[in-house]
Chains A and B, each alone.
Chain A
Amino acid sequence: MSQRVERASQWIYTGIWAVLVRWFRVPDHPPTLPTAAGETADSFRPAPGFLNYLTFHFWIYLVLFDGAVLIGWIVVTALVWWLGLLLAAPALVVAVAPDIVAYIAIHLRYDTTWYVLTGRSLRIRRGIWVIHETTITFENVQNIRISQGPLQRYFGIANVLVETAGGGTSTDAHGNQIGASHQGLIEGVADAARIRDMILVRLRQTQTTGLGDEMDDGQPVRRFSPAHLAVLREIRDTARQLAETRA
């Protein structure tokens, strides 16, 4: 029985997804970032724990909301029995309809959230009706914040907030991003520490404050250029090949 329900809901969800892709032009492929030769871009969604976390919230709100509707209906029925009978069907609709919408919205939110990380920058895509894509280079990052509540710890996820210079952050009480601002929120990832370390390594390498130019125009830069790195990578590969043939 439950398997059949699951399969049916899966089918409905696929249908909704197809409609979104076809008629609402929701991109069905992950975002990409331009990469230098030899560099790879890693695109991933939030951890599965994030979906469980959202679903857990959903069940709590469902029990609270439907409980309130049920109690209201019982009170009405106890007072005026025919009014209660009359209101039974509308009450059921009020109790169930928002749940279905919310449940689908949770899955869509999870499926449309993408993060892309390369060695030098990150890109975040979020949203269904309005799709936001934020691109930030690590060079411009001012600080990184990791937050994890007890529930998030239970589900093994954490939020990484990457902030660039400039004020006027527009976040709500839960630290969720509203609209465009000087930050990128990597929400619900299992390996927050790895992402933090990756960005930190890059941050420590830069000698500037991330506030614009580093005066490298017309002057030689004392740093490895991508051309250097490409040749260095080739040397590494050749060295590996040498080591393998020797072995």
Chain B
Amino acid sequence: MSMTLNSTTAANRPFDPTAITRPSPVLLKYYMLVSLVGGPAFPLVLLPLFCKYVTLRYKFDEKGVSMSWGVLFRKEVLLTYRRIQDIHLTRNIVQRWLGLATVGIQTASGSAGAEMNIEGILEAEPLRDFLYSQMRGARGLADVETTATSSDPVVGAQASADDEALALLREIRDAMATLAGREAPP
């Protein structure tokens, strides 16, 4: 029951998280559906969710991500990609119908729940894979088409061309390649 596959989450166009500042309007629809569960308390449930939707802002830069929301009580969460411990992508049935997902990011703080829940992003899977590529232990996946944008300064800095060891390795490779070409039967 095991199969090997290469990465196929390919979205051909490059995914640019810095363009994300607001949740998709679909999130408001989702919040309305969620508050319907409250029955008669519908307006009471919807109001804070509506406020959250209206004020929700995301900011992705090359080091980290911040999100802020709130009207009366304002909240802002900031974290750096490198401190991400694990990423959770959660989709309940309503979210799947609407094409939404919740991307939960956990750092090494003491809480069991996610430190940041990014909601209302239609491109949740590319976003998750972008965050993954910026995580400790996964960085340097620069040559992955799914996440890397070549203009990304963080990823681009990883493989510096003037790396001496790398140049030496390339020379060895080329020498071996010519050797192999000479050895091969015509």
CB of A161, distance to nearest CB on chain B (Å)? 13
Contacts of B179 in A (CB 8 A): 238, 242
CB atoms of A226 and B109 under 8 A apart: no
Q: Confirm or deny: B170 has a beta carbon within 8 angstroms of a beta carbon on chain A.
A: yes
**Bound form: Cα–Cα A43–B170 in Å:** 32
CB atoms of A246 and B135 under 8 A apart: no
Contacts of B104 in A (CB 8 A): 180
CB atoms of A135 and B86 under 8 A apart: yes
CB atoms of A41 and B5 under 8 A apart: yes
CB atoms of B90 and A130 under 8 A apart: yes
**Bound form: Cα–Cα A20–B113 in Å:** 28
Contacts of B19 in A (CB 8 A): none
Contacts of A242 in B (CB 8 A): 176, 179-180, 183
Q: Confirm or deny: A66 has a beta carbon within 8 angstroms of a beta carbon on chain B.
A: no
Nearest-neighbor residue (CB-CB) of A140 within chain B: B85
**B137 partner, pick from A32, A121, A165, A181, beta carbons under 8 A:** A121
Q: A48-B1, A168-B111, A231-B173 are in contact. Are A132 and B88 (CB under 8 A)?
A: yes
CB atoms of B172 and A35 under 8 A apart: no
CB atoms of B140 and A226 under 8 A apart: yes
Q: Confirm or deny: B72 has a beta carbon within 8 angstroms of a beta carbon on chain A.
A: no
Nearest-neighbor residue (CB-CB) of B9 within chain A: A32
Number of residues on chain A facing chain B (CB within 8 A):
66
CB atoms of A227 and B141 under 8 A apart: no
CB atoms of B185 and A245 under 8 A apart: yes
CB atoms of A165 and B136 under 8 A apart: no
Nearest-neighbor residue (CB-CB) of A137 within chain B: B137
CB of B152, distance to nearest CB on chain A (Å)? 14
CB atoms of B140 and A36 under 8 A apart: yes
CB of A229, distance to nearest CB on chain B (Å)? 9
Beta-carbon contacts under 8 Å, A21-43 to B: 24-26, 30, 32-37, 40-43
22 examples of A-B residue contacts, CB within 8 angstroms: A24-B96, A26-B96, A34-B147, A120-B137, A129-B93, A133-B89, A135-B132, A135-B135, A137-B138, A164-B108, A165-B85, A182-B85, A208-B136, A210-B136, A212-B83, A212-B107, A226-B143, A228-B169, A231-B169, A238-B177, A242-B180, A245-B184
